[in-house]
A and B are shown apart, each in its own frame.
Chain A
């Protein structure tokens, strides 16, 4: 029972470098989400995908792109990393019903120097 799997767990980038955070879920969930968590600010939604083939912006989408590769996978890309993107990133997923809870991955700690 893997649930939601994120890779990598830790990453250090230099300003201007690019990278992709990977997320996969094995629960056949329709909706997937990317959040960032910063001290004193809770979790903020970056992008979400309500179903395969669709993506929408959340609260803080600038500087990020996403791809819903298939029903299982939802990746987050930083094209040109900035120090302000230093954060902990969480992927989450949930099923079709409105009252289903979010399942979270264990997070990716990203530092941009």
Chain B
């Protein structure tokens, strides 16, 4: 069965520091992978997605993620965090058509000035 693990429940970084949020997935075939961000009281917004091709994908707001098949990982990175990046981040995996998109438990990011 598909599953997604986000090992870090909470992460705190200083503004301007680099960021890496971890995501590991379990899926038999080539997965469709996503990162979503949720600001307080809001729905989820797509940051980026991987379907095939280049394993390093660029997203909105300066985020990128790298698909590593050998490690079953799809970690999210940002070189320099801004205070407005404080939010909850969700990794998700979907099968073909991703009608059953499975989300991780989320990582809550706090940014110190």
A105 to chain B, nearest CB (A): 6
Binds A, one of B11-19, B36-44, B61-69, B75-83: B36-44
Instruction: Scan residues 60-108 of chain B and give those whose CB is less than 8 A from a CB of chain A.
Output: 90, 96-106
For A, the interface residue count at a CB cutoff of 8 angstroms equals 25
Which residues does chain A contribute within 8 Å of B103, judged by CB atoms?
A: 35, 42-44
CB closest chain-A residue, reference B104 = A42
Is the beta-carbon distance between A102 and B46 smaller than 8 angstroms?
A: yes
1/0 per residue, CB under 8 A from B, across A48-90: the answer is: 1010000010110000000000000000000000000000001
For residue B56, CB closer than 8 A to chain A, the reply is: no
Is the beta-carbon distance between B106 and A42 smaller than 8 angstroms?
A: yes
Is the beta-carbon distance between A50 and B46 smaller than 8 angstroms?
A: no
B85 to chain A, nearest CB (A): 19
For B, the interface residue count at a CB cutoff of 8 angstroms equals 25
Is the beta-carbon distance between A90 and B43 smaller than 8 angstroms?
A: yes
Q: In the complex the two chains form, what is the Cα distance from A99 to B34 in whole Å?
A: 11
Across the interface, B44 reaches (CB within 8 A) one of A31, A48, A50, A104, namely: A104
Which residues does chain A contribute within 8 Å of B100, judged by CB atoms?
A: 45, 48, 58-59
Q: In the complex the two chains form, what is the Cα distance from A101 to B102 in whole Å?
A: 14
For residue A41, CB closer than 8 A to chain B, the reply is: yes
Which residues does chain B contribute within 8 Å of A4, judged by CB atoms?
A: 43
Which residues does chain B contribute within 8 Å of A90, judged by CB atoms?
A: 43-44
Q: Which positions in A face B, CB cutoff 8 Å?
A: 4, 31, 33, 35, 40-45, 48, 50, 56, 58-59, 90, 92, 98-99, 101-102, 104-107
Q: Which positions in B face A, CB cutoff 8 Å?
A: 4, 6, 9, 32, 34, 41-46, 49, 51, 90, 96-106
- Show 27 A/B contacts (Cβ-Cβ < 8 Å), sorted by A: A4-B43, A31-B99, A40-B106, A41-B105, A42-B4, A42-B90, A43-B44, A43-B103, A44-B103, A45-B101, A48-B99, A48-B100, A50-B97, A56-B99, A59-B102, A92-B43, A92-B44, A98-B51, A98-B96, A98-B97, A98-B98, A101-B46, A101-B49, A104-B44, A104-B45, A107-B42, A107-B43
